[in-house]
Amino acid sequence: MNRRSFASSLAAGAAFASASPAQVLPAKKGRLKQGVCGGVFRGSNLDFDGQCKLAAELGLVGYDLQGPERFETLKKYGLVPTMLPGSSKLADGTNDLALHPEIIANTNKLIDQAAAAGAPNIIMLSGNRRGRTDEQGIENTVKVVNAVKKHAEDKGVTLCMELLNSKVNHPDYQCDRTWWGVEVCKRVDSPRFKLLYDIYHMQIMEGDIIRTIEQNFKYFGHFHTAGNPGRHELSINQEINYIDGENDHDWPTATQAIREILEATRRFEVRVSTSGPTTWRPPFASADVVILNYNSGHLPISKRWPLAVEEEFLSYLRSGGGVVIFHAATGAFAEWPEYNQIIGLGWRDNAVGPGLFITKGGKPKLVPPPDGPRVGYGPRHDFTVTTMRNNHPLTQGMPREWTQRSDQLTHGLHGPAEKLTIISYALSKVTQRNEPMEWTRLWGKGRVYVTMFGHTAKDEDNPNLRTPGFRATLARGAEWAATGAVKSSAASMLPDETAAPRQSLPTSPPR
């Protein structure tokens, strides 16, 4: 069910809610057991009886956040009170030792009421920090949950600590990050204590929804769903669609391929640093080159790195480090000005900056904003890649043309487009323009190599990652970013059938 279709049903429900006797329709069968919260009925003019009738007709199984005083109405329509409220107040909760006697009494009473009504869950709330550290909040919460967990286990009722955002809706709320709630679950160690994972709230706080659910599913007892921004239904207009770890592609497959390609040259020792924990601090300073296979979403509201990590990254590059921007990483950090300068071109709106294409004569040409096609791509396909004729080390020794297999050819990239050296391009079937596929730039004392090759999708074969031309360009691009020179021979990485009979550019000393 999406909320838009639900809202349209409400109008019809209002017309007949009082005109016919209540009746319970057969529940719709499906993979998900869906319930509802009262907020979706705002503006419907339905009383609680009418809301329950409509919910039952839509095939919902339960109604969240309703207390014992409404159990009879829910029962009348075959609905379950799926999440009981009332163990504490939102701002005054389990992290306050002074409130523990009251919370214990309330919770034990609710456990009895829930068990009698067949209600599976009771909500718990951490309360606001009010100066408490994370550890203090965790310790206090574990104490009060331990005092009631045996009764919950005996009665078969699950206590669910709700994760809420503290950035927008509930300032200072303590259980505002998944790791905090998971740590409480681990210490309580009871099958009857879990988390209420609210997708809207955690998208605001953390993003990374899918990977978080996959890695912590055993700690989640209940879900609330809504998109962000606006708390609307999950849709293409909601940033929640930009998911899959820290990338909207199959990033684990890409990371594995990058590691294999680079280690096969025997010129690289690869270490992987995966973002996520609040303590995450990638060791930029110890690296010769940093490869970003990262994309938290291209919208202006999308997730940024912690400020300390961003500053360390910029300092690393500014002082002479090397960076490889891998495919989807051109869509990250739309509101980070320095990052836009670093990548030069990215998955950006036309108004952000110029576009760029390569003329039939092989010359880069800027397109002033907001002109040019919008950023996008066609289906995966084989296409011919043309190497630029210039003196950059990355073009030297590469075939004039080679074929990339089953890859995504992105068009309409925009950005500052400053001080870029185009390495290769390909003709887009969508725009009928030569679109840049690789480019470099210097930033501070550092070197940046950007590759648009390497699209990956889950449950699909990715032959593009095995193409000799792609493997050669990636390895050589990483070497140039690390050292400023390219000693790896393109010929040794490309079989004869890939390079011949096409003309190869002469080799010249690195600059």
**d(C-alpha 222, C-alpha 219), whole Å:** 9
Residue 340 in contact with residue 420, Cβ under 8 Å?
no
**Per-residue pLDDT at 27:** 42
Q: What does the pLDDT look like over 11-42, one tens digit per residue?
A: 222 222 222 233 333 444 455 678 888 888 88
DSSP characters over 144-193: HHHHHHHHHHHHT-EEEEEP--TTTTSTTBS--SHHHHHHHHHHH--TTE
Residue 440 in contact with residue 450, Cβ under 8 Å?
yes
- Find tokens 């900056």 and name the residue: 353
Question: Tokens representing 385?
Answer: 């890649």
Element (H, E) at 221: strand 220-224
**d(C-alpha 332, C-alpha 425), whole Å:** 22
Of 258, 255, 264, 303, the closest CA to residue 280 belongs to: 303
Task: State phi, psi for 128 to the nearest 5 degrees.
Answer: -80, 155
Q: pTM for the whole thing?
A: 0.53
Q: What does the pLDDT look like over 348-372, one tens digit per residue?
A: 988 889 999 999 999 999 999 989 8
**d(C-alpha 194, C-alpha 178), whole Å:** 11
CA distances from 54 to 25, 36, 203 (A): 10, 11, 29
DSSP characters over 311-357: HHHHHHHHTT-EEEEEGGGGGS-TT-HHHHHHHSSBS--GGGS-EEE
- The parts of the chain modelled with pLDDT lower than 50 are 1-29, 236-245, 496-511
**d(C-alpha 282, C-alpha 312), whole Å:** 9
Instruction: List every span in the chain annotated with CATH 3.40.50.880.
Output: 251-380+407-487
**d(C-alpha 279, C-alpha 511), whole Å:** 39
Around Cβ 91, how many Cβ atoms within 10 Å? Answer: 17
Instruction: List every span in the chain annotated with CATH 3.20.20.150.
Output: 3-241
**d(C-alpha 278, C-alpha 180), whole Å:** 10
Of 163, 184, 189, 160, the closest CA to residue 174 belongs to: 163
Residue 170 in contact with residue 124, Cβ under 8 Å?
no
The neighbouring-strand residues paired with 425 are 386, 436
**d(C-alpha 151, C-alpha 12), whole Å:** 44
Question: Tokens representing 207?
Answer: 């993003």
Tell whether domain 251-380+407-487 is in CATH 3.30.360.10: no
Domain 3-241: which CATH number of 3.20.20.150, 3.30.450.20, 3.20.10.10, 2.40.50.140: 3.20.20.150
Residue type, 84: L
Residue 499 in contact with residue 491, Cβ under 8 Å?
yes
**d(C-alpha 264, C-alpha 183), whole Å:** 40
Residue 399 in contact with residue 499, Cβ under 8 Å?
yes
Q: What does the pLDDT look like over 439-475, one tens digit per residue?
A: 999 999 999 999 999 998 877 888 999 999 999 999 9
